[in-house]
Structure 1
Amino acid sequence: MFTTHPDIGERALLRPAPQEAYGAYQVSVARTLEDLQQVVAIRSAVFLAEQDCPYDEEFDGNDLCATHFLLKRQGRPVGTLRVRWFADFAKLERIVLLPCDRGRPGLKVMLAHMFELVSRKGYQRMIGQIQARLWPVWSRTFKCELIPGRSPFWFSDYEYREIEISVPVHPNALTMTEDPYLIIRPEGAWDRPGVLDASVTRSNNKRSAA
């Protein structure tokens, strides 16, 4: 779970979430099987049940190579999105909220944390494939534009458009010269010592014994 305010990520939003929303919601990267089950439950409730998307089109073979974000309110999973990584851009996908949380500020909280992580990884742009009918919504939510010269296309019975999203530059973007212990920490938790940091003491004791 993220513990810091996503100052950089919030800059990608056209209007920030109310400050109190960051206390009401929790956002985390899905790291466990239980986390992924919650992601699947939310997407199944909306995309499969509400939008009648075929199972094999919704769960498309990309979930185990993506980073998933999980939004909770009062401990209850209410939203999710996923990001996939390419050479010089990231791709925003599968943004979804349960009906009980639509129109609330949780979406902006989740997006701000997502943009923060994307920026920290050094990306400055993302692409998204959005349902064409939702362009007015996304164009008022974060800094984006329709990609010029790209025609609408269809899949899973909906018309889609491609957008480019501007990601703010992070002053502490990760590079290959980072401390090696930082790089091996869990995704998004680079500033907190991880389990492998703690293993250093054990390794030092073994060297001393030798």
Structure 2
Amino acid sequence: MTVRIIENQQELEDAFSVRRTVFIDEQNVPAEEEIDQHEDAATHFVLYHEGGPIGAGRFREVDGVGKVERICVVKEARKTGAGKTIMKAVENFARDNGIHKLKLNAQTHAIPFYAGLGYRIVSEEFLDAGIPHKTMIKEI
């Protein structure tokens, strides 16, 4: 598995393809909510395995805090370490760019995954795109 920080249109399309599969097709998130106004301001990541895209995520700096967003892995690649691979790349990117606090809005079913990576819950449950979430943070 190889994570790439997106450098060209094809890699961006690969990331969007994974995001569409997971969020729009699988979780029924409206397309206009999934692809949003923050795409151009974000650093995008795509995870490849055997030549094809299997995971994606994006990162933005908001008020000095790194915001980890849109982390996803296609169903066939879950429970293989793919999610941890993406998260490690995002955290390394943040650290390399002087960001030492990360924040994410985790779908409640994914909280154990993020907790296992050192994130802690800092909010009550809320709905985003009709899906229950909690905000989590991590100092790196």
Q: Which residue number corresponds to residue 66 of structure 1?
A: 42
Find the residue that maps to 2:98 and give its secondary structure.
Answer: coil
Match of 2:124 among 142, 147, 151: 151
Q: Which residue number corresponds to residue 104 of structure 1?
A: 80
Moved over 4 A (4+): none
* Distance in structure 1 (CA, Å) of the matches to 2:113 and 2:90: 18
Residue 90 (structure 2) pairs with residue 114 (structure 1): yes
The percent identity for this pair of structures is 22
* 2:57 aligned partner, one-letter code: L
* 1:165 aligned partner, one-letter code: K
1:128-167 paired onto structure 2 within 5 Å: 128-140=104-116, 142-147=117-122, 150-167=123-140
* Distance in structure 1 (CA, Å) of the matches to 2:61 and 2:69: 11
1:150-189 paired onto structure 2 within 5 Å: 150-167=123-140
Residue 67 (structure 2) pairs with residue 91 (structure 1): yes
* Distance in structure 2 (CA, Å) of the matches to 1:110 and 1:162: 19
- The Cα of 1:137 is off from its aligned counterpart by 2.3
Residue 78 (structure 2) pairs with residue 76 (structure 1): no
* 2:118 aligned partner, one-letter code: K
- The Cα of 1:27 is off from its aligned counterpart by 1.0
- The Cα of 1:64 is off from its aligned counterpart by 1.2
User: More strand by proportion, 1 or 2?
Assistant: 2
Aligned length: 140
1:2-81 paired onto structure 2 within 5 Å: 25-81=1-57
- The Cα of 1:151 is off from its aligned counterpart by 2.5
Give me the CA root mean square deviation: 1.2
Alignment check: 8 A CA contact 2:68 2:90 kept: no
* Distance in structure 1 (CA, Å) of the matches to 2:62 and 2:112: 27
Find the residue that maps to 1:80 and give its secondary structure.
Answer: strand
Task: Deviation per CA, 1:38-92: give whole Å up to 9, x if none.
Answer: 1111111111111111110111211111001110011111000100112321100
Give the TM-score, by structure 1 length: 0.64
* 2:129 aligned partner, one-letter code: S
Give the TM-score, by structure 2 length: 0.94
- The Cα of 1:153 is off from its aligned counterpart by 1.5
Find the residue that maps to 1:52 and give its secondary structure.
Answer: coil
